[in-house]
Amino acid sequence: MLSIIVGTAGHIDHGKTALVRALTGVDADRLPEEKRRGITIDLGFAELDLGDVRLGFVDVPGHERFVKNMLAGAHGIDVVALVIAADEGVMPQTEEHFDICRLLGVRNGLVVITKKDTVDEELLELVREEACELVAGSFLEDAPQLAVSSRTGEGIEELKRALHEIALKIPARSNAMVARLPVDRSFTMRGFGAVVTGTLVAGEIQEGDEVELLPEARRVRVRGLQVHNQPVKRAEAGQRTALNLGGIEAAQIERGMVLAPAGRLRATQIFDARIDVLKGAPRSLRSRARVRVHIGSAEILARVRVLEHTNEIQPGASGFIQLRLESPTLALPSEHFIIRSYSPQRTVAGGVVLDAFAQKHRGREMAGVRARLESLMNADPAAQVALRLEAAGEQGLSRADLIAHTGWRDEILSSAIFGAERSGAVVDAEGHLLSRAQFDRLGRAALDEVESFHKQEPLSRGMARETLRERHFAHLAPEIFRAVISHLEATGALRSEKDVVRASNHRLELSPHDAALKSRLEEVYKDAALEAPTFEEALERAGNSSPRERARKILQLLIDAGSLVSVSREYYFHREALDQLTKSLRDYASQHEPERLIDVATFKDLAGVSRKYAIPLLEYFDRERVTRRAGDRRIIL
């Protein structure tokens, strides 16, 4: 069955509650004070079954003191019934409520002139004309206009038919968003515990689901569900829903909180938006103004940062702003909100969220910020992903981050990411998504760093991989570093050799003097065989005249090339001598099967070296798994 939410709107004492009672038989005024004073103070709810359509009514207070309560119920409505009393006509709250509905993006409704039985036809016609003037140029301009009497019932059946026709024309709610229910009421029910109510504005919630109360991010479980006072296993978008929650007390739940699937959405305190300032606003909306922001069922104080070059938005004009909230709340792109002045409280503007997790903007960035927000307004999902990743910078965003930033379901996000990757605008760095521009910038920075290292250290084989990571990627996820290096390797710009990276075009070009020293050093170690000299001794034998540090780098070239092997901190041996000794050990082992044991003394004799060489050599062979220590002896493997 199709479920539609109908919200009343209009001035106090214009018969909104009486109209709902005439339509549904339910008195939506539930508070004793409301019944005693004869006015609606808080939200009231009722329902009407029209066969193939079920209407859920949200009856709102009309008094100017309770506009914030009206706003808490207006966020989820599909259809507005703009109520105007025939004996009074259009009044201040009629206009303000209508402005609020327009600013919240309501696109369907009708005008209901109540108390028809209290006036003559001439006065009724004047009220009709007033109503036409009020809605001219709006979504209600061509909407039905009906005159009814809640007392006599005249026109009520026609109103039901009109609501039915409107309901059937309303497009289905988008299924792109994760479930979200702004809480407008909480109470304790004996035998059940905490119960909350609200309009499920997106997605679905099932009995047994683990959900989260935002902004506190407190996890609770759905113990039971009711839709239109009937127990159900599942509630869907567009339905007035009551949820019995486990793991929390009703006193811990406040109007303005939002229920959402656990771990999917996050609260924010700064968001960018586009707003429309009402023509009737008393003054321009300026930077630093303290305002009241109504979003979902929440009211939060905030400071305005106008992003236009004039630092203000005139009455009747539109523009981009940033709202810096004094407390966190849930805000998602495309969500509408209302701005009311701090004092006196008056509706002055409304808008739509564009970037729910914005950064504070500096003055010199404003032109670029406005261009980006303009693009976000008109972008398809793939383009939105690219724009959000561009704003995220080199940190990028994970899939979980993007769900929190957009509110999209997994399937929608996956499709958007696929489209962004296919267009080349986005790169997946092992689960961390970056804009192509940021990813390429990181690649250029890494390559520049390596090439700069080659210029400073022309005799080095390359730059230590960890050093490169610490210089440019220490503040980023390790996956991003790996992905950038892998990309540079795949394109042939870099080469990795164990823990060293080098530019592909890097070649060691030794001067004749350095080449001669390299050759002489190798000969010294080759001639020394297993009685290796210390480094200082090797330099002396090679007749070195270069600075010691440069000679050390030339020695490292021999090590990198595999000609020399570092056996200990002090001693380097020529590879040929070590290979020959390894062969001698293998031969010895084959002659001493099956034990294959050798002690230090025997090893000294076999190698023809003193103890000062024998111990480092045996420890080297242990590391290389040629031998394995067994007490005072070694097993030759």
Decide: residue 164, CB within 10 A, 0-12 exposed, 13-18 middle, 19+ buried.
middle
So what's the pLDDT on residue 363? Answer: 79
So what's the pLDDT on residue 471? Answer: 87
The residues near 500 (Cβ < 8 Å, ≥ 6 apart) are: 461, 462, 463, 464, 465
How far apart CA 56 and CA 49 sit, in angstroms, is 9
- Angle between helix axes 92-103 and 67-74 (nearest 10 degrees) is 30
For the segment 206-214, the average pLDDT, to the nearest whole number, is 95
So what's the pLDDT on residue 62? Answer: 57
pLDDT for 63 beyond 60:
no
The residues near 364 (Cβ < 8 Å, ≥ 6 apart) are: none
| Among 317, 325, 259, 332, CA closest to 286 | 317
> How does pLDDT run across 313-350, given as a tens digit for each residue?
999 999 999 999 999 999 999 999 999 999 888 999 99
> How does pLDDT run across 471-489, given as a tens digit for each residue?
889 899 999 999 999 999 9
> How does pLDDT run across 375-389, given as a tens digit for each residue?
999 999 999 999 999
Task: Return the number of other C-beta atoms located less than 10 Å from residue 277's C-beta.
Answer: 24
So what's the pLDDT on residue 32? Answer: 64
> How does pLDDT run across 275-298, given as a tens digit for each residue?
999 999 999 999 999 999 999 989
pLDDT for 170 beyond 70:
yes
pLDDT for 517 beyond 90:
no
So what's the pLDDT on residue 500? Answer: 85
Tell me the chain's radius of gyration from C-alpha atoms.
38
**Phi/psi at 20 (nearest 5 deg)?**
-60, -40
pTM greater than the 0.95 cutoff: no
> How does pLDDT run across 145-165, given as a tens digit for each residue?
999 999 999 999 999 999 999
Complete DSSP assignment for 74-111: HTT-SEEEEEEETTT-S-HHHHHHHHHHHHTT---EEE
Complete DSSP assignment for 352-396: EEEETTPPPPPGGGHHHHHHHHHHHHH--HHHHHHHHHHHHGGG-
pLDDT-based confidence at residue 229 (cuts at 50, 70, 90): confident
29-to-82, 149, 211, 324 alpha-carbon distances in Å:
19, 19, 30, 36
So what's the pLDDT on residue 174? Answer: 83
Buried b (16+ CB within 10 A) or exposed e, 289-320: bebbbbbbbbbbebebbbbbeeebbeeebebb
How far apart CA 346 and CA 282 sit, in angstroms, is 9
pLDDT-based confidence at residue 46 (cuts at 50, 70, 90): confident
Complete DSSP assignment for 571-636: -EEEHHHHHHHHHHHHHHHHHTTTT-EEEHHHHHHHHT--HHHHHHHHHHHHHTTSEEEETTEEEE
So what's the pLDDT on residue 126? Answer: 95
Cα–Cα–Cα angle for 446, 451, 453, nearest 5°?
Answer: 95
pLDDT-based confidence at residue 555 (cuts at 50, 70, 90): confident
pLDDT-based confidence at residue 585 (cuts at 50, 70, 90): very high
User: Mean pLDDT in the chain?
Assistant: 89
pLDDT for 510 beyond 90:
no
SS3 124: helix
What is the β-pairing status of strands 298-306 and 290-295?
antiparallel
pLDDT for 223 beyond 70:
yes
Scan for tokens 């044991």, then name that residue: 597
pLDDT-based confidence at residue 29 (cuts at 50, 70, 90): low
Between 118 and 190, residue with greater pLDDT = 118
Domains annotated for the chain, with CATH where assigned, are 2-169 (3.40.50.300), 181-261 (2.40.30.10), 268-368 (2.40.30.10), 438-503 (1.10.10.10), 512-637 (1.10.10.10)
> How does pLDDT run across 90-143, given as a tens digit for each residue?
999 899 989 999 999 999 999 999 999 999 999 999 999 999 999 999 999 999
